[in-house]
Amino acid sequence: MLSGESIWIFVMLWVTPSLSARESQPSEYDYVSFQPEMRRQYQSGRFYSRPAQCVDIPQDLALCHGVGYNKMVLPNLLDHETMVEVKYQASSWVPLLSKNCHPGTQVFLCSLFAPVCLDRPIYPCRWLCEAVRDGCEPVMQYFGFPWPEMLRCDQYPREDVCIAGTSPNATQAPRPRTETEICPQCDSEIKADTMYEHMCASEFALKVTVREVKKEGGDRKLVLRKKKALKRGPIHKKDWGDLVLYLKNGANCPCHQLEQLNGQFLVLGRKVKTQYILTAIHKWDKTNREFNRFMRKVKKSKCPKPHSVFM
């Protein structure tokens, strides 16, 4: 992941033409207010209920806090008008950062979710989008996510003024996964804050015991014995009794948590069409300090709710 200094160097490198009229060299945090003409530029062709403004990136915007600058434009470049909406929509991307599928992932996503405060909107470079997409889409497929239409790369500029993040010549093709690599769903560190962010980004969270694991096509299927919902989400009542979870593309990659089925597990997931897809699995380990911190946080805190976006 790039340092804040590196990100700013690349932003300045590609947006310097738009800033050349300034009398003095700008510092990283100069762009803290918007003049009326700036509002018009940001809102050209768009219809917002609120004027554009430069605001602090809050600490609980986990996707972009610490990205390398501390203020962002609202509404953002994905047409999210409120910080509540930004945080909710950005939360589903937080688990992807921990997979390290491309070094420019955070820069690319935050250039859209939390764009840096400048005198006009600056979009990510098309080649950055393509590099992140090519590196991360194979990982996303393990979690039942396609590359979304809203991030279609051909809508971004090829050159000129754009957010780079890395040098085009430094962009490398994604390395193919091998059968000896751990399934991404099983490669999750036990850190309380990370687990909580992942839980909030998931549609359901369950405490389960597993009766058996079967292979079905390229997937692995978990047949559950017992389950208790921490967050039930979209699981239908008719499916609850014989609930089955799918480890997408997990038939041949190692998952150490499932080598021994004794004990209990914390599983996170989402529904894709008619299947309940497992996106993370942890041993239910009360002797682990971080796991206990996670459970205390679950009891004390509430994840953002979808309906709060429209409040």
d(CA 213, CA 245): 10
Work out the pLDDT band at 2, boundaries 50, 70, 90: very low
What domains, with CATH codes, occur in the chain? 4-170 (1.10.2000.10), 184-300 (2.40.50.120)
Contact predicate 73/42, CB 8 Å: yes
Q: How many CB atoms lie within 10 A of CB 17?
A: 9
What's the DSSP call for residue 184? G
Tell me if the pTM is above 0.75: no
Contact predicate 115/77, CB 8 Å: yes
For 107-133, the pLDDT digits (tens) are 999 999 999 999 889 999 999 999 999
Does the structure show a pLDDT above 70 at 163? yes
Mean pLDDT of 280-296: 95
For 38-83, the pLDDT digits (tens) are 444 444 445 455 678 999 999 989 899 989 999 999 999 999 999 9
**If we measure between CA atoms, which residue out of 276, 300, 100, 102 comes closest to residue 187?**
100
Mean pLDDT of 207-235: 95
Q: What percent of the chain has pLDDT over 90?
A: 55
